[in-house]
Amino acid sequence: MGIAPLISVVIPLYDGAGYIRRSIQSVLRQTYSDFELIVVDDGSTDGGPEVVRTFTDARVRLIRQENAGASAARNRGIAEAQGRYVAFLDADDEWEPQFLNAIVHLSVAYPAAGIWATGYRRVFPTGPSVEFTVAESRSRTMLLIDDYFRRLPGGSIVHASAAAIPVSVLRELGGFREDCPWGEDEEMWARIALHYPLGYDTRILSRFHQTGRQQKPRFRNSPTRDPLLTALQVALSAAPEDPPRDREEIRRLVRYRFRLRLWKFALAGNRRQVVEFLETSGAESISPLLTRACRAFWLWPALCLWAQVLRLVRSRLFLRLRGGRRLRCGVLQRLGTPA
């Protein structure tokens, strides 16, 4: 048996024949080469696995399983990993050539971190992309972040295709929740951030492609249970002798996340989902006034209008009108070039 690589790259694959080649090529083009690449085929029904087999690089492994979801595929990859660190990449996303090199440098600079991540670019089918990164440092690119929860209302600085985690942390805290059809990555980052700081490279070294996202089966419906909100509520209910160190920031984030979910349901015009969400989220203890407003049928049109206004404020058009930059809670969003 050869020497185990430092990094195991895990790509979950489900019906990704149209883009998995791009993803794998971006890994093989990395300037850092001590890695293995594990593609977990999660019961694909197209030619995706055949595309993977065309790669002859010995570092590429294909593992097949019955369809069980993205979390189960990632967890299978973690179980098969031989490296000390696991880096994740979705099958329709890609890395810049320096990504893994940045992860290695972060692991050396911040060995106590539970996540190492970089800035990323959100690429849309048309129009400009949007870049997400942290905003403090102009003189250096690497930072240690210990206030992850304070930043989340400004936008997620960690993306599933721009992060790596030590295997020891994954074994300690468990893998991705397999009962979550969406939001399993945010829930994972939150569990880690409750115990560890984050090592971060502010450079934009990953591309998150939006193409076709809403057509994927797991995104066709918006479940009324929010994994991140649940994880935060569990943290707040910890025993008094073991409270989370960021309790007040987490409380504020719970209220923000609650409003965000209501906004998304109102945006879809789905009052039934709003009612179900209120029943499952502990709404009365989070925001009593907003909860009563959402239960009032006659206020529903006003809530839908509010959601449309918020949609405009969060849009790329509004970002362009603000000069192409938005800074909130230490998170920088800026317009990039068209795809």
Is residue 167, in this structure, part of any structural domain at all?
A: yes
| Same structural domain, 277 and 159 | no
- As a residue count, the chain comes to 339
Residue 275 half-sphere exposure toward CB, CA atoms < 13 A: 7
Looking at the fold, whether 140 and 272 belong to one and the same domain comes out as no
Q: Could you read off the pLDDT of 101-133 as tens digits, one per residue?
A: 999 999 999 999 999 999 999 999 999 999 999
Range of the domain at 290: 222-295
Same domain membership, residue 144 and residue 31: yes
Q: Which residue has the higher pLDDT, 99 or 237?
A: 99
Together in a domain, 14 and 113? yes
pTM above 0.85, yes or no: yes
Place of tokens 């800074």: 327
What's the pLDDT tens digit per position in 203-221?
999 999 986 544 454 444 5
Please check whether residue 102 lies inside any domain of the structure.
Answer: yes
Determine the Cα–Cα distance for residues 220 and 235; give it in Å rounded to an integer.
29
Instruction: Give me the pLDDT at residue 334, please.
Output: 95
**Do 11 and 146 fall within a single domain?**
yes
Last residue of a domain, one of 175, 195, 217: 217
Same domain, 149 and 274: no
Domain total in the chain: 2
Asked if the structure places residue 162 within a domain, the reply is yes
Residues 187 and 256 in one domain: no
Structural domain contains residue 189: yes
Task: Give the pLDDT confidence of 233-281 residue by residue, as tens digits.
Answer: 999 887 665 666 788 899 999 999 999 988 888 888 888 888 888 888 8
pLDDT of residue 136: 74
Whose CA is closest to 280, among 331, 223, 197? 223
291-297 mean pLDDT: 89
